[in-house]
Structure 1
Amino acid sequence: MLIYTRPLFFALLLSACGTVPLGEGQYQVKAGDTLYSIARSTGRSVGEIQRLNQLSDNTIQIGQILNVGPSRANPAPATRPKVPVASPPAPVSKPKAPAIELVWPNKGPVLQGFNGKSNKGINIGGAAGAPIYAAASGKVIYANTVRGYGKLLIIKHDKDYLTAYAHNQHILVKEGDSVKQGQNVAGMGNTGSDKVMLHFELRFKGAAINPSPYLP
């Protein structure tokens, strides 16, 4: 007469009857399973599975049906409250210098361009006495001789901009006069210079800037 232990009885019963349909919260032990691996895959602790199945230790048998309760292996993620996303601050644009439109004070060739160091304007070549025109409308604030500049004419156009015309042979306007853009205000010369030319400067708030971008 054969006496079967309970685990052996389950193994023989499963081998004879094939796969047993599993109910909800049940798990059938497979080769290679341990109580720890089953607990991890079902979201339970080893102690919980032992209590659910009245196991006195970690011994399990292939084919054994274990109660594991509802699976907690992949719990639904908790819904996080939506945090309003603040809009990025609008970029702060740097204030730009107000534009000024100039005309060429003379149509002669440019002998030397602006570099901001040795030349704070542009030098324009031409014949002695050639007409020099106001680059923009404004008011004459200086018309006299300055060392290094010869006969110098300065026209203020607004609170920010002024233009300067140096090395003139003669000046046709006087301080305080209002002039129009394109008006003949001087004659080209070589006063304060070793050659006939016009030294032309554009100044913004007193600082010399390159006049070329403002000329047509």
Structure 2
Amino acid sequence: MAGLLLAACTAGPLFRPDTYTVRRGDTLYSIAWRYGVDWRRLARWNGIGPPYDIYPGDVLHLDGRTRSVASSTSSSSSSAPSGGASRDGGQRTARASSPAPRDRPAPMASDLDWRWPVGGKVLRGYSGSHARRGIDIAGSMGDAVRAAAPGRVVYSGSGLKGYGNLVIIKHDDRFLSAYGFNRRLRVGQGETVGAGQHIADVGLGPENRAMLYFEIRRDGEPVDPQRLLPRR
């Protein structure tokens, strides 16, 4: 039972609270990722417009009702927006083992030219459950983790429990990708990255095995990365 509970934690909480108070290091995208919400909806629900800055102490509503963002602290123009990258080691959480699927899933349409972030084999495939919203890809400690498509870094840090050192890249209004359990992060929030750019170094996963956890979301929903990545 304990193993199942730990497995569930790796993909975020099993419930969504009504509100969330922004902490240092959070971004709109990381909060949306944490609670399984499309970032565009989260912004709309809270009356947040471009460039989508949020500040520590802001109270975001996660219940789907549209309103203006509330703040428990004064956010002046001199305040730095939340989302600074943290380079501390992330908390690691064990995940239940399960074999990678044998059959490759059907491709998914996308205007992006996706590529594999690391060159190893798939250790654990996607199921869409809380425990397996992405895939585990084998690597060697320190191997380069590369951006799967061009985009902008919208989170770089270790604040999302169950992902270790994490990078999230926004590719367009629909697609985001995430790269977890890195040994070292090489990009910061706000940086523009090209496809194949070195963004992190492979680290140890929950089972002390060198690997990358890779996840893609479309419109806030996890999708099987192997439906978008090229066949190999």
Task: Give yes or no for contact 1:149–1:193 (8 Å, CA) kept in 2.
Answer: no
Query: Which amino acid in the other structure matches residue 123 of structure 2?
Result: L
Alignment partner, residue 138 of structure 1? 151
Question: What is the RMSD computed on CA atoms of the aligned residues?
Answer: 1.6
TM-score normalized by the length of structure 1: 0.53
Alignment partner, residue 74 of structure 1? none
Distance in 2, matches of 1:108 and 1:137, equals 21
Note the 1:170-189 alignment, pairs <5 A: 170-189=184-203
Distance in 2, matches of 1:182 and 1:98, equals 17
Note the 1:1-216 alignment, pairs <5 A: 98-117=110-129, 118-145=131-158, 146-190=160-204, 194-216=208-230
The 3-state SS of whatever aligns with 2:118 is coil
**Cα distance change, pair 121–184 in 1 and its aligned pair in 2 (3 A):** same
Alignment partner, residue 68 of structure 2? none
**Between Structure 1 and Structure 2, how many residues are aligned?**
121
Q: Which has the larger radius of gyration?
A: 1
Alignment partner, residue 45 of structure 1? none
Distance in 1, matches of 2:206 and 2:169, equals 19
Task: Give yes or no for contact 1:150–1:193 (8 Å, CA) kept in 2.
Answer: no
Unpaired segments ≥5 residues, structure 1? 1-95
Query: Which amino acid in the other structure matches residue 186 of structure 1?
Result: A
Query: Which amino acid in the other structure matches residue 183 of structure 1?
Result: Q
Distance in 1, matches of 2:206 and 2:136, equals 13
**Cα distance change, pair 125–97 in 1 and its aligned pair in 2 (3 A):** closer
Alignment partner, residue 8 of structure 2? none
Identity %: 40
**Cα distance change, pair 141–192 in 1 and its aligned pair in 2 (3 A):** farther
Deviation at 1:202, TM superposition (A): 0.6
Distance in 1, matches of 2:113 and 2:177, equals 12
The 3-state SS of whatever aligns with 1:163 is strand
Distance in 1, matches of 2:162 and 2:127, equals 18
Q: Could you give the per-residue CA deviations for residues 44-70 of structure 1, whole angstroms, max 9, x where no partner exists?
A: xxxxxxxxxxxxxxxxxxxxxxxxxxx
Q: Could you give the per-residue CA deviations for residues 141-181 of structure 1, whole angstroms, max 9, x where no partner exists?
A: 00000221100000000000010000000010000000000
Alignment partner, residue 52 of structure 2? none
Distance in 2, matches of 1:185 and 1:192, equals 21
Q: Could you give the per-residue CA deviations for residues 91-117 of structure 1, whole angstroms, max 9, x where no partner exists?
A: xxxxx9644331000001110111111
Task: Give yes or no for contact 2:109–2:228 (8 Å, CA) kept in 1.
Answer: no
Alignment partner, residue 101 of structure 2? none
Q: Could you give the per-residue CA deviations for residues 9-60 of structure 1, whole angstroms, max 9, x where no partner exists?
A: xxxxxxxxxxxxxxxxxxxxxxxxxxxxxxxxxxxxxxxxxxxxxxxxxxxx
Q: Name the stretch that deviates more: 98-107 or 163-172.
A: 98-107
